[in-house]
Amino acid sequence: MVSLPPRKISTSAASSKLDISPYQVLVQMGFPKKRVLKALAATGNRSVQLASDWLLTHVNDTALDSEEPREYILYVTPTGQLLSQIQEFREKSKSICGWNGAHNAPPHITIVPFFKASDEESLNLAVAVKHAVEKVGPQPSCPMKLETYVSPNFIGLFISEEYADYFKALSLQYVKEIQAKNLDPLVKSLHMTLAYHFDISAFDSLKSLASQLELPDIANWELRLYSRDPRFNNYQVYKVNQGYSPKASDELELVIGDFIYIEESQFDGSVDGWVHGTSWLTGISGFLPGIYVQRTAESDAWTLHRAISLGHKNCAECKSSDSETNTYTAMSNYPHEDAAGLAQEKSEETYQEWEKYWHEVQNDRSESILRITQGTSIDWKSSVGRGIGDSESSDSITTSTGTESNSRRWVFAMRHGERVDLTYGQWVPFCFDDNDTYIRKDLNMPLHLPERAGGSASYAKDTPLTRVGRLQARLVGEGLRLAGVPVAHVYASAALRSVETAHSFLEGLQPEAPVKIKVEPGLFEFKHWYMPGGMAPFMTPKELHKAGYNVDLKYKPYVEVDTEVSETLEQFYKRNELVIHSAVKDTAADGGNIIFIGHAATLDLMVYALKQFGKKRAESGYQISKNLLRVPYCALGAMRDKPWQVVSPPCPPSINSSSGRFDWKILLDV
């Protein structure tokens, strides 16, 4: 037999498959070239999956083949304590005078105004942001002086000369990078708007509010490139907070989390509360009930193409000074806090997939994942909504350090671990036989399930954790133990997944004194979400104890929850607030740290409730956080008392292939 000579593979041939671009992939999938470019630009060139989802959801968009270019804008945006201060001002100003022009975009300094560019240039425009920062260099580390400017129709902050020169240099360099001949960078009077286009009657109140700002000397900044659909420049943006299925051909389907473009005149001229709008998710237009949407920032419907942190450079002219511990730079006093970029890209991909997965399995009641063979692709329905309502503004960012008084209690909130139903879909028909006996069909499924009233029917509506979910919870307990932070009081939602999370958390914590789980129905999720499919009765404490869970049989819940009756969002908040406030007060004499183990919303509920601790308000104003779908399994949020402050948890977050890495700082926006 003739021996086969070795083949020398060229480098270009070996890498050809790796170099294939998202554009080429989508074209090979059969999508028209112009539509591919439009989809990539509309989704920020993030991924093939996002772009293909956009194309599929916009298949009935009448403007899909329009050649009108997108509009781009380059902002410098603050982060950290300065951002918190401005957000707090804006929220308070909203309560004083209602919506004004500043509420339509995040706090920012515009350095390149809106300009149009073809979809072909989208990726190059994003790359140019990075090149501009690399060539101009990091921001000055000198203290930045912010000067408040007040007039009858504008309130804002003007920045010091050194920072203004730096931002102007970024602006000039970016325009140079994109070779825009007819584009003028903004190099005069760089400022950050606090309020404008407000009623003159609110001027004195806004002026007084601006005088109360405590602006930091040092701020961190990001350079951000956004784009928008120019068809809706003069429209207001509303977020869908209640779903709706059309009953007539001219009505618009509403998907929770979608954004709707609506002209202001629609509300003024409506006689029945119905308005005409266009869906951001699908591009389809139609009539909708106005009460099902809530106004939000126009920028919520923009696309973020690139965000780059502007670091500090040494400034020989500036004297160093000691900083207080509640500055943004002090947030890294825990070793894990200097790893903000760790697994960032993976987390972002996971959050996007999680949103699609949630709507596919939970909302659309899809075919079980167990029916899908390995390697078969899933044509997910796109869902790019980011939450259900707006959050209130944040207080200043603070951290806890070793110099703090040990008398300050920790109060934690944690989401449950990975759940079976959202991992496998409709799992019960495959895992229970004709005798209603549980049969384990996957290594990540529970080894066994305890007996409960309702059997498999109850498990279908009150899911247990996966084996990975139990491990996730145990790791958090272990993390607090290794950080030397004990927990004396554990409250868990009555959902089985939360009780199991609490049980595994305590296994990792290994407390010196026995700690039992206080099963609290008042911590359960928003019941309104469950009414279409119904809820199962919660397992009783006796059932849980018999099954081996470490529950406190003597505990009397603060709230009893009727699983057959819906509730309003205000009622949902009030019962959680009652539990959180009562637990804090009732354990004050004994002392010891507290943890509330519940659901994704439990984290921002804890922050919102404790910020209202001791205050009396007829209506809470609570809204589900826009970051709800960015709270991964076993995400841990932390606060400390005296005074109540959101702080970094004392142990690191975690990430695995099915869960994102939790960024605790999103609680600062609550």
Reduce the secondary structure of 75-98 to three states and give it as a string. EEEEEHHHHHHHHHHHHHHHHHHC
Give the model confidence (pLDDT) of 414-423 as tens digits. 999 999 988 8
Specify whether 416 is catalytic: yes
Query: Mean pLDDT across the stretch 256-264?
Result: 93
DSSP string, 184-232: ----SS-EEEEEES--GGGHHHHHHHHHT----S--EEEEEEEEE-GGG
Residue ranges of the domains in the chain?
A: 18-57, 70-229+305-314, 231-300, 394-419+463-669
pTM recorded for the entire structure? 0.51
Q: Which of 78, 218, 223, 198 is nearest to 141 (CA)?
A: 218
- What letter represents residue 96's amino acid? I
In the block, which residue shows the tokens 């993030």?
46
Q: Please answer whether residues 519 and 551 qualify as being in contact, where contact means their C-beta atoms are separated by less than 8 angstroms.
A: yes
> Helices (H) and strands (E) in the chain — how many of each?
18, 20
pLDDT band at 270 (very low <50, low <70, confident <90, very high): confident
Query: Mean pLDDT across the stretch 82-108?
Result: 89
Q: Can the peptide bond before residue 78 be classed as cis, meaning omega within 30 degrees of 0?
A: no
Given the residues 108, 228, 305, 599, the one annotated as active site = 599
Residue-level pLDDT at 641: 93
Given the residues 415, 419, 503, 575, the one annotated as active site = 415
Specify whether 103 is catalytic: no
Quick one: 70-229+305-314 is in which CATH superfamily? Cyclic phosphodiesterase (3.90.1140.10)
Give the model confidence (pLDDT) of 427-470 as tens digits. 898 899 989 999 998 889 999 999 999 999 999 999 999 999 99
Residue-level pLDDT at 5: 67
Residue-level pLDDT at 199: 87
* Pair type for strands 109-117 and 645-647: unpaired
- What letter represents residue 41's amino acid? A
| CATH for the stretch 18-57 | 1.10.8
| CATH for the stretch 231-300 | 2.30.30.40
In angstroms, rounded to a whole number, what is the distance separating the alpha carbons of residues 328 and 324? Answer: 10
Given the residues 58, 276, 305, 416, the one annotated as active site = 416
**Distant-in-sequence, close-in-space partners of 43: CB < 8 Å, separation ≥ 6:** 50, 51, 54, 303
pLDDT band at 28 (very low <50, low <70, confident <90, very high): confident
pLDDT band at 627 (very low <50, low <70, confident <90, very high): confident
Residue-level pLDDT at 602: 96
Q: What are phi and psi of 499, to 5 degrees?
A: -65, -45
CATH architecture of 394-419+463-669: 3-Layer(aba) Sandwich (3.40)
pLDDT band at 12 (very low <50, low <70, confident <90, very high): very low
What is the percentage of the chain residues whose pLDDT exceeds 70? 81
Residue-level pLDDT at 439: 92
Q: What sign for the dihedral angle of Cα 310, 311, 317, 318?
A: positive
**Burial class (CB within 10 angstroms; exposed 0-12, middle 13-18, buried 19+) of 314:** exposed
Q: Please answer whether residues 218 and 119 qualify as being in contact, where contact means their C-beta atoms are separated by less than 8 angstroms.
A: no
**Can you give the C-alpha Rg of the chain in angstroms?**
26
Give the model confidence (pLDDT) of 587-601 as tens digits. 999 999 999 999 999
Residue-level pLDDT at 399: 37
Q: Please answer whether residues 480 and 651 qualify as being in contact, where contact means their C-beta atoms are separated by less than 8 angstroms.
A: yes
Give the model confidence (pLDDT) of 470-505 as tens digits. 999 999 999 999 989 999 999 999 999 999 999 999
Q: Is the pLDDT of residue 362 over 80?
A: no
Give the model confidence (pLDDT) of 96-136 as tens digits. 888 999 999 999 999 999 999 999 999 999 999 999 999 99
Residue-level pLDDT at 333: 43
Q: Is the pLDDT of residue 222 over 70?
A: yes
**Burial class (CB within 10 angstroms; exposed 0-12, middle 13-18, buried 19+) of 410:** buried
Specify whether 599 is catalytic: yes
Q: What sign for the dihedral angle of Cα 383, 473, 605, 327?
A: negative
Rounded to the nearest integer, the mean pLDDT of the chain is 82
Looking at per-residue confidence, does 345 or 567 come out higher?
Answer: 567
Q: What sign for the dihedral angle of Cα 395, 401, 405, 408?
A: positive
Q: What are phi and psi of 370, to 5 degrees?
A: -70, -15
